[in-house]
Amino acid sequence: MKNFKPANNIQDLQFFGEFGGVNPSISDSSTYTFMAAKTMFDTFEGNTDGCYLYSRHSSPSNLYLSEALAQMEGTESANTTASGMGAITSTLLQICNAGDHIISSRTIYGGTYAFLKNFTPKFNVSTTFVDITDLNSIEKSIQPNTKIIYCETVSNPLLEVANIREISKIAKKHGLKLVVDNTFSPLSVSPAQLGADIVIHSLTKYINGSSDTIGGVICAENSFIESLKSVNDGATMLLGPTMDSIRAAGILKNLRTLPIRIQQHSKNALYLAEKLEESGIKTVYPGLSSHPSHELYKSMINTEFGFGGMLTIDAGNLEKANALMELMQEKNIGYLAVSLGFYKTLFSAPGTSTSSEIPIEEQKSMGLTDGLVRISIGLDHDIERTYQKMMECIKELNILK
Ligand SMILES: *Cc1c(COP(=O)(O)O)cnc(C)c1O
């Protein structure tokens, strides 16, 4: 783990194009010819070595991107999907049968929460939501039919940190799969190196980084990735959340600059978090020593990539949060938009947006206050200027009482 170098792993890949191009050729085909009918039969039987079947199963462009992401996470294999939700839902449905049980962090992406709370019960798959920072409550929630422990490395939107090393020990002891959504912390954290079985990303966020497409990936051992693609019972093959080749090629190109982008996001976020906290604003950022999991997170990160680009501040109440976001947009500090990982700063009030699937009562019990503003810090060159502009907004609205 200490010597795991995800950025080197990405840089060292060599994918040449058909005519010696420095970028791999984009596979612009949904179907593929076979020289012999027997080969087609064998391919459908699962002996796909070197042969492509149909692009819902896999395509050269998707395999390039998948390989690069597997290298980044240090897993045997990976499979890209058309969205982060496509990756999450396929993974959970692949592992669980009717009657199975999942233990999930209660602070997770709103869509994942809605899927576990409202959708999987249709298949008699139930979920216990736990405080993921409470290892005892995780272990106590295990039932004979539990199959999965699910969490986000850094949770959305509260920025709670999952102790992946310790949770993976619990998972191994009880024969469960630990599935980790690492969307908030690519490169900073390598969950598979800490013991996670399956690592998922929404590529829509940092990894693609240009807010122009939706995408996802599942990184895991080869046997699991192959099971997802099985023509007989594979979730990605049969549910069909397939990424388009042109998008896969685009995301691969953006992935190459991820290391420098993450460093800049982290540098800017740490600077702002420290300054905002100093100025008396309630700020949550895992890089602050005031964060309850600061030391734990420090022990989990690949140091050179820092604590990531996400922070939250509390404006006091929803009216103030809304006014602050509108004013920050007016002053061109960033955009009032959901999502994250863009070059421009993005902010939203989670209670009324990405976490609105979570009932108000439950939002309260997990500490999701309605004045919370989630901020994805951009690649700003002059972050001191950004801080000054933010303070102007905060003062104008009397947020500092
Ligand atoms: C955005 C997001 C997702 C969902 O990804 P999509 O690409 O929008 O489907 C899942 N998990 C986290 C943490 C996210 O931020």
Which residues share a beta bridge with 374?
312, 348
Q: Is the pLDDT of residue 234 over 80?
A: yes
375 closest CA partner among 357, 362, 389: 389
- 49 dihedral zone (left: phi>0; alpha: psi -120 to 50; beta): beta
Q: How far apart are CA 238 and CA 236, in angstroms?
A: 6
What are the φ/ψ torsions at residue 127 (nearest 5 degrees)?
Answer: -130, 135
Strands (E) in 251-317, as ranges, are: 283-284, 310-314
- For the stretch 285-335, pLDDT in tens is 999 999 999 999 999 999 999 999 999 999 999 999 999 999 999 999 999
Cα(401) to ligand 1 centroid in Å equals 35
Ligand 1 lined by 376 (C-beta under 6 Å): no
Q: Tell me, in angstroms, the distance from the centre of ligand 1 to residue 378's CA.
A: 18
Average pLDDT over residues 97-105: 98
375 secondary structure, DSSP code: E
Report the 10 Å Cβ neighbour count for 2: 5
pLDDT at 44: 77
> Tens of pLDDT along 11-70?
999 999 999 999 999 999 999 998 888 888 887 777 667 778 899 999 999 999 999 999
What percentage of the chain reaches a pLDDT higher than 90?
A: 87
Q: Does 111 or 357 have the greater pLDDT score?
A: 111
Task: Pick the residue whose CA is nearest to atom 12 on ligand 1.
Answer: 109
pLDDT, greater one: 354 or 133: 133
**Which residue has the least CA distance to atom 8 on ligand 1?**
84
Q: Given this model, what pLDDT does residue 2 score?
A: 60
Query: What pLDDT is attached to residue 348?
Result: 95
Q: For residue 314, give Cα distances in angstroms to 281, 283, 317, 322, 372.
A: 7, 7, 8, 11, 4
What is the reported pLDDT for 235?
98
Whether 111 is in the pocket of ligand 1, judged by its Cβ within 6 Å, is yes
9 pLDDT above the threshold of 70: yes
Ligand 1 geometric centre to CA of 34 (Å): 37
Ligand 1 midpoint to CA 193 (Å): 22
CB-based contacts of 32: which residues, under 8 Å, 6+ apart? 51, 52, 53, 54
- Spell out the alpha helix ranges (H) of 159-257: 164-173, 222-228, 235-239, 245-255
Domains of the chain: 6-255 (3.40.640.10), 259-396 (3.90.1150.10)
More confident residue, 213 or 157: 213
Q: Taking residues 81-87, what's their average pLDDT? A: 98
Q: Is the distance from the beta carbon of residue 374 to the nearest atom of ligand 1 less than 6 Å?
A: no
Q: What angle do CA 326, 371, 376 make, to 5 degrees?
A: 60
Q: Angle formed by the axes of helices 245-255 and 60-73, to 10°? A: 30
Is the minimum distance from the CB of 151 to ligand 1 under 6 angstroms?
no
- Residue 1, pLDDT score: 52
Q: Is the CB of 201 under 6 A from ligand 1?
A: no
Mean residue pLDDT of the chain comes to 94
Residue 341 CA to ligand 1 centre (angstroms):
11
Report whether residue 115 contacts ligand 1, using a CB cutoff of 6 Å: no
Instruction: List the residue whose alpha carbon is closest to atom 2 of ligand 1.
Output: 202
| Cβ contact 283:311 at 8 Å | yes
73's tokens: 């996470």
